[in-house]
Amino acid sequence: MLVLVAPGQGAQTPGFLTDWLALPGAADRVAAWSDAIGLDLAHYGTKGDADEIRDTSVAQPLLVAAGLLSAAALGDIAEIAPGAVAGHSVGEITAAAFAGVLDDTAALALVRKRGLAMAEAAAVTETGMSALLGGDPEVSVAHLEKLGLTPANVNGAGQIVAAGTMEQLTALNEDKPEGVRKVVPLKVAGAFHTHHMAPAVDKLAEAAKALTPADPKVTYVSNKDGQAVASGAEVLERLVGQVANPVRWDRCMETFKELGVTALIEVCPGGTLTGLAKRALPGVQTLALKTPADLDAARELVAEHAGHVEQA
């Protein structure tokens, strides 16, 4: 059974969209999306420097566009026939489009508003996020709470991402939890999935009122608790609330295992989620779509592992 996943913020790198835009029809599709949301996706995806694409209001639409573009290059979702789809943080919006809950334009309109609202919330206080490598999750979570930090991403495979003020993150770097080898600052501009994002929830809820979600056509696995969600309205409600709540990617991977996953493909800019899967899902074949050069290998994986799983 194949799972199709989409990465979250921090996965972007300068120029990562360049090769994808060379594919037939890709530039026109991205130009239409850019016009629809008022953001030059092609410019930022090819010429934007690291600081420009770190901007939350730019990074989030760019990541969703890249995920949609690379998945379309792989094939129609009905032909890919994943047993389940999921996304990490903003990647949940990409996954909602994969599942047919939102069309591509609606997904990009929503993520544009999400990025702007989260950037505005992040500007109130200087905040950030750092990944903890190694250590026992229970020990790390207790240590983070002692420092006033939030375990904003519980990613599985021994990785937790802490979020909070820069002062709190500095204290973490100087006082790591027992067993943690390294604390790595992430390429994000705020303490996402924490109470610092509460103002963005209200704005996103207002934007969601204009949308008419459809029920997922394939199993949609939610960051909130790793559960499969069968209602489009509930998917949208969770997308809104998740902005200020922790990402439980560990539970998403547990659900993949329960569903019988045998292969996992991560859309562009892939790498982060396949890395986690290699450690947490032994025996599962993984592939990251980094450039169009990866498409042939991905198609072989699709041919070998595709097939739907009945929703509960």
Beta strand 159-165 with 228-229: parallel, antiparallel or unpaired? unpaired
Q: Is 193 annotated as catalytic?
A: yes
Catalytic residue among 34, 57, 70, 89: 89
First-to-final CA distance of the chain: 16
CA 283 to centroid of chain Cα atoms:
23
Q: Is 34 annotated as catalytic?
A: no
CA atoms within 13 A on the CB side of 17: 28
Token pair for residue 265? 């493909």
Phi and psi at residue 94, to the nearest 5°: -60, -45
Phi and psi at residue 22, to the nearest 5°: -80, -10
Instruction: Check if the beta carbon of residue 72 is closer than 8 Å to that of residue 29.
Output: yes
Beta strand 228-229 with 127-134: parallel, antiparallel or unpaired? unpaired
State the sign of the Cα–Cα–Cα–Cα dihedral 235, 150, 132, 9. positive
User: What's the rounded Cα separation, in Å, for the pair 268 and 72?
Assistant: 11
Q: Among 60, 19, 24, which Cα is nearest to 41's?
A: 60
Catalytic residue among 88, 193, 196, 305: 193
**Positions marked active-site:** 89, 193
